[in-house]
Amino acid sequence: MFARIREDVQTALKRDPAARNPLQVLTYPGLHAILLHRVAHRLWTTRRGPLELFKFTATCVSALSRFVTNIEVHPGATIGRRFFIDHGSGIVIGETAEVGDDVLMYHQVTLGGTSLDKVKRHPTIGNSVLIGMGAKIIGAVSIGDHCKIGANAVVNRDIPANCTVVGVPGRIVLRDGVRIDGDMPVMDNIINRVDPQDEVIRELRQRMDLLEQHIEKLEGDRHQVGRQEAERGRK
């Protein structure tokens, strides 16, 4: 247990340039959330004794952690080693979420679900993944190893390894060190192929085209009526 705590402290010292010494790291709410989650997860997954009592106790520990740290990690979530939460306020990690080793996560991140069924409904995060502030990863999707999810990105599809994702909806802009520009005909290039804003803009353009055609038709009819009246006047 103490070896894992020491490992977490060393991870914080390595990942956070503002960390000056181990005593300062021990005050970090992200570290408190991780330590309390380990206790809650051990209670949640125990197979001895009255299971419901252990799960209820795990839920109480998780609620205490949320109250103290403003970080909500369900006791059923699986968290790997050397997981570091920097400025962790507002983080939510769902019950069936799985987080790999050496993951760095910033504040306001959500690993959420989209199903009401009691199945795997939360994301699986690979190893050495960086998740930027405010990012939302929704559903039972998989994020490959060494990926970077940009700030405020929204991801609801699987992401292969070694990719950088940005935007709403999330789009892969870098893969295996090669930049991807524009909408390429690659299925995993666009995380969500329908952008609600693009839909609205497309509809507005269609309406403008129809209005322009209608105006052109009215002007043509007006000119034709004018010519007919002019011809009658000459007669």
Q: Taking Cα atoms as reference points, which of 11, 7, 73 lies closest to residue 38? A: 73
Band of the pLDDT at 117, cuts 50, 70, 90?
confident
Spell out the domain ranges in the chain: 2-179, 194-235
- Pairwise CA distance, residues 51 & 35, whole Å: 22
pLDDT tens digit sequence for 45-75: 887 767 678 889 999 999 999 999 999 999 9
Chain centroid to Cα 193, Å, comes to 16
User: Are 93 and 119 a contacting pair, CB within 8 Å?
Assistant: no
Q: Give per-residue pLDDT as tens, 18-50.
A: 888 888 889 899 999 999 999 999 998 887 767
CA distance 102 to 29: 18
Amino acid found at 147: C
Residue type for 115, please?
Answer: S
> Domain 2-179, CATH 3.30.1330.20 — does that match?
no
pTM of the model: 0.71
* Two tokens, residue 121: 């409904």
Give the distance between the most distant pair of CA atoms in the chain: 108
